[in-house]
Chains A and B, each alone.
Chain A
Amino acid sequence: MKDRVAVIGIGCTKFGDRFERSYEELICDAAFEAYDDAGIDPAQIEAAYLGTYLPGSGGGKAAVSLADALRLYDRPITRVENYCATGTDAFRNGCLAIAAGTYDMVLVLGAEKLKDRGGRGIPRLGHPLLARGNTAPGLFALAANRYIHTFGLRRETLAKVAVKNHRNGALNPKAHLRMEVTEEQVLKAPIIAWPFGLFDCCPTTDGAAAAIICRADLAKRFRKAPVLVKGAGLAVTSGRPYFDPTFDYLGFRSTQAAAQQAYAMAGIAPSDIDFAEVHDCFTWTEISNIEDLGFCPKGEGGRLEEEGQTALDGRLPINPSGGLKSFGHPIGASGVRMITECVVQLRGEAGKRQVKDPELGLAHNVGGPGAVSCVVVLGRG
């Protein structure tokens, strides 16, 4: 697949509490921006992939939510859902379809409208056989506490991740939580599930994001310098890893496996990556992710954060967009939104949050927690 698929257009809505906009409108906002960015007519879209956890009302568990919103009828549209890796996996599927030579041009779109619908906030992760009041923060906290016990990570280091990502997000007009926070504010915030306080957790968010991808050899007709897909990996492990006595709770092997697939496909090493959008659903997750992605050995992610290596002007900027922490986390939209950030950065169009001269960017989702991971590597054409 390497260098056979190009991203020629991107679109992304303002993320946030979008009570004033419907699910269909969010889809249209993202798609039309991507059509304009690519300079294409919607009729040129041959196939589409919709990444969504909660489809539009009446849409059921199918791709009709995308077809109806965009009036894209009589052509293949596939709905992808794979926990929090939904968006990046939708993108990966679109890339495979192009690399296979089946279609020349594909739309990938992630959309989610969570704030005015149930299912988030009040957790339903409660099968009493397996769980005892586990919440999303609680499940990641189980891992964070074991990690803290093993490596001596401090809450102050977790707080530095929130401070950094809020600082990046404050520079981003489309981010959900556009305010800076201090380390003291993060540390003093109400505890949700120890060690996570409120500012260690990403928000629940509405939003949509889109990417138009096409055959790399056709891409120059649409853009002078299209961004190329270098590699993609997806790894699925047990959906119930918590009960496996060999699971060490120090990281996620699905991320390690997905990253290895993507690096092998791209023919690169982790050290070749210039910046990354990683799944910072909680502050600890970012630290664990950058280890699982191979940017440093296990247990040293906190040091990278402490030393400022992950800051916008650091050696390896992590979540220049503001990440899930500040940009928000509309499940199915998040992965596609990360792709759009990679493209903006690789084009050099990120303004105040621009990373210096990047050649290769990486997008990563992990869901489950730990059950499913997807990694995409993008590069300058």
Chain B
Amino acid sequence: MSKPDGTSYQKYLPRIDEESRGYWEALARHELHVQRCRDCGAKRFYPRALCPVCLSAATEWVRASGRGTVYTFTVTYQNQAPGYRDALPYVLAVVDLAEGVRLMTNVVDCAPEAVRIGMPVEVLFEDVTPEVSLPKFRPA
């Protein structure tokens, strides 16, 4: 599958660092990964070096199912930042994954007015540069 060259993408791009590299590498393969603590087993998002439960640095990446529910959301009608101003209105959402972690994302592939709290959603991947793909969600 061909990917965009990234030169036309105006929204913010990540600085990929050592803590998040595994996350981005998995997304580029169209897999959503979260971290799991090797000591206490707690899963976490966002990626970080230490387990927030037991402070262990022993970490592994595990693939998430990509299924979740909308905990809350808003439809944004005003954002003049480059890239966003051309994408209004868009849905900013907080999604609880089946794995028990929570992420902030966009719900796409449906009318913004159709999004509801508690709605089941599933991940899809938006390729924005050769290195970066973003996890977004659509009604499941």
Determine if B12 and A138 form an interchain contact, defined as CB atoms under 8 angstroms apart.
Answer: no
Contact B73 A192 (CB under 8 A): no
Whether, in the assembled complex, B61 has its beta carbon less than 8 Å from a beta carbon of chain A, the answer is no
Q: Are B45 and A243 in contact (CB under 8 A)?
A: yes
Q: Knowing A133-B87, A192-B77, say if A145 contacts B72 (CB, 8 Å).
A: yes
Q: Is A191 an interface residue (CB 8 A)?
A: yes
Are B79 and A242 neighbours in the complex by a CB distance under 8 Å? no
Of the candidates A194, A242, A244, the one whose C-beta lies within 8 Å of that of B74 is A194
How many A-B residue pairs have C-beta atoms within 8 angstroms? Tell me. Answer: 108
Q: A121-B80, A123-B81, A128-B11 are in contact. Are A142 and B106 (CB under 8 A)?
A: no
| Min distance, Cβ B103 to any Cβ of chain A, angstroms | 7
Contact of B76 with A by CB under 8 A = yes
| Chain A residue nearest in CB terms to B44 | A243
Question: Is A190 in contact with chain B by the CB < 8 A criterion?
Answer: yes
Q: Is B59 an interface residue (CB 8 A)?
A: no
Q: Does the CB pair B74–A145 fall under 8 Å?
A: yes
A129 interfacial contact with B, CB 8 Å? yes
Q: How far apart sit A129 and B132, CA to CA, in the bound complex (Å)? A: 10
- The reply to whether the CB of B62 lies closer than 8 angstroms to some CB of chain A is no
Separation in Å of the B10 CB from the closest CB of chain A? Answer: 11
Within 69-118 of B, Cβ neighbours of A (below 8 Å) are at 71-81, 84, 87, 90, 92-94, 96, 100-106, 117
A191 to B90, CA, bound (A): 12
- Please tell me if the beta carbons of B117 and A135 are within 8 angstroms of each other in the complex: no
Within 8 A of B (CB), among A14-31: none
Per-position contact with B for A223-264: 1 when CB-CB < 8 Å, else 0? 000000000000000001011110001000000000000000
A193 located at the interface, meaning its Cβ lies under 8 Å from any Cβ of chain B in the complex: yes
Tell whether A220 is near chain B: CB-to-CB under 8 Å: no
**Cβ–Cβ < 8 Å partners of A190 in chain B:** 77-78
Question: Which A residue's beta carbon lies closest to that of B78?
Answer: A192
Distance of A127 Cα from B13 Cα, bound (Å): 7
A195 to B93, CA, bound (A): 14
Residues of chain B with a CB closer than 8 A to A129's CB: 14, 20, 23, 46-47
Contact A122 B81 (CB under 8 A): yes
* Interface: B134 (CB within 8 A): yes
Q: Inside 8 A of A194's CB, which chain B residues have their CB? A: 74-75, 77
Q: When the two chains form the complex, which single residue of B20, B79, B93, B104 contacts A243, counting CB atoms closer than 8 Å?
A: B104
Interface residues of A in 83-142 (CB under 8 A from B): 121-124, 126-135, 137-138, 141-142
A143 interface residue per 8 A CB criterion = yes
Partner of B72, one of A126, A146, A193: A146
**A interface residues, Cβ below 8 angstroms from B:** 121-124, 126-135, 137-138, 141-146, 149, 190-195, 240, 242-245, 249
Given contacts A191-B75, A243-B101, A249-B71, 8 further A-B contacts (CB under 8 A): A123-B79, A128-B132, A132-B90, A133-B76, A141-B76, A142-B72, A146-B117, A191-B77
